[in-house]
Structure 1
Amino acid sequence: MTEQPETVVTPTPTATTSGSRPHRSGAVLGAVAILLALGLTGGLYLHGHKNAVTQQAELAQLKLQLNSIMTQVEQKESRNSNQLTTLTDTQQRLNGEMQELQSQVLDLNHKRPNDWMLAESEYLVRMAGRKLWLEHDLLSAITLLGNADERIKTLNDPSLMPIRQALAEDITQLKGLPRVDREGLTLKLAALEDQIDQLPLSAVNMPDAKIAPEQTVSSDPTDWQTNLKTNWVKFTENFITIRRRDSAVEALLSPQQEIFLRENLKTKLLQAQVAIYREQQGLYEDSIAKAQRWLNQYFVVDNSATHYMQGELDKLKGEQIQFDYPDQFKTQAMLEQVVSERLQRILTGN
């Protein structure tokens, strides 16, 4: 490429007075622009500095909050870890105790199996006492005592002979008591109760009527009034009959009263049945006595059904339903002592 020659421009000289004003005004404008630029830059710097300071303060506060939260979380984790450690230790301790108890139970089963049969005998004796004193079931009490004696006999332990002797005395004492057929007595009373509706009530006993003497007509004309009355009475006898009775007449029971009477009589027999199972001798005899009194008072005594019921009630009234039972069994205290001693011996390892 060919180089072109540079063109040199030579400024044209101007007058001194006319060229100083534009130079000054340009300098002032440049200074103002520089000041404005500096002010704007300073303002922006100050604004940015303030924002940076504010952000740093907020950031520091957030860091403090985060540190506090982290501290709380660490404390909770520490507490949970301690609790978990405690629970783990407790579980291990309980597992150890459970294993120890299981080993003791197995050891007891292998060492003294007969002691459990002795404890079972003591339980049977206690059950016999409940049957006797709470339910008055004499037969069940004797059976339970016999079962307890069979278990002690199976042990084949000579040291338990005094207990077997006490059991034999308790059983003999119970067998000597009179037995009451409660079911039989209750069934008899229930059968009599069903017959109450068929019993006939007593009728009204009417006294004999007085027969008035027959009046005749007189032939005397002066007795015309008497003759007229006599004829009138004879005429009306075919329509109305009048009889005179001197004694009082008892009124019959109304249908409602008859129903109440029969139901009250049934209630008395039901009370006697309840008294049998409760062994209340006084209530039993009083209920039957009132039933007999009502039979004699309100029902036909000569009737066969009434006569039969009266005879059955007489038999039932003489039954003895209340007895004096022994306060306690001799065997009970002896068995409790032996079981307690053997249990202590097992626990101490002797």
Structure 2
Amino acid sequence: MNPASIPEPAVEPVGGEAGSALAPPVAGPTGLARGMVWAIGAVATVALAASGFIWQKVSGMQEQLARQSADAGAASVEARAMARQAMEQTRETAARQALIEARLSEVSLQRTQLEELMQSLSRSRDENLVVDIESALRLAQQQAQLTGSVDPLLAALRSADQRIRRAGQPRLTPLQRAIGRDIDRIKSATLADLPALLVKLDELVRLVDDLPVANAVGALPAGGRAAVDVRAEPQAWWQRGLAVIGQEIRGLVRVSRIEQPEAALLSPEQSFLLRENLKLKLLNAKLALLARQLESARADLVAASTALSKYFDPASRKTQTAASLLLQVQGQMRATDLPRLDDTLAALATAAAGR
């Protein structure tokens, strides 16, 4: 409170004594003012102390704020440096990622090209395998036709089956099944044993020169009955001479029954030609068997059998042996053709076409 604003007490003028008698009571208001001044000074002192405390506190807060500001500035600088570093790392990472993506696309392209190349090589290998198998089977079929045996066909089919198993291609599975069916059909087929037939025909050709014709004049064997009688009973010289003369006379004339009159009229020269003609028929039958012409072979064998029974001695053991061989050859010849590889060839065509 301002001391000037305190109202001063009114002073009334008094007389001499009266005024002097009343003078001492004036000291009361002055003490109040002094108290008020002290109060005001105390308040001011408290205010000043509070202001100093507040100022000190504000100064501490300013220092703290300054330190925090400095720390914040340092942190900001560090954050900017870290942000700059992060941006650089981001740019580097982006560049690396772009490079990796480029390399990945290049690797993907190379992989695609490699897969196409592998597929092309696989198709080329399968095509070569199919072509090789087809060539081997056709060659085996020709060999089977020439030899009359199914062994070349079976060997070629088994070899093709093994090659397909080693290849392990699923697209060749139908071909493998077709090969299995053809193998079963060939095994169940009944064919003539051509090598055995050729051996028997060669034996017949060798027997032709030793076959006696029906009108051949033969001498009695050395161990005949007359010789036995001569050795069994000792005779005189004239008896032995008569026996030899009688044997010679009996050799001049021979009585026999010939069913075919043509056989009796054969001369020695015609007998030679007959044997050669029979050999030619047997050789023609052999060539027809090799050429797989069964009808022609049968016709030649029938003609050879007719000539054998017509012009040669049926009582001879060699003639009987030749006739038996002819019957065996005619019985073993069958009209069964070589089995064809239709299923396998069709499967090979399908595999070559890529279907």
Q: TM-score, normalised by structure 2?
A: 0.48
Q: Which has the higher contact order (CA 8 A, sep 6+)?
A: 2
Give the number of the structure whose alpha-carbon radius of gyration is greater: 2
TM-score (norm 1): 0.49
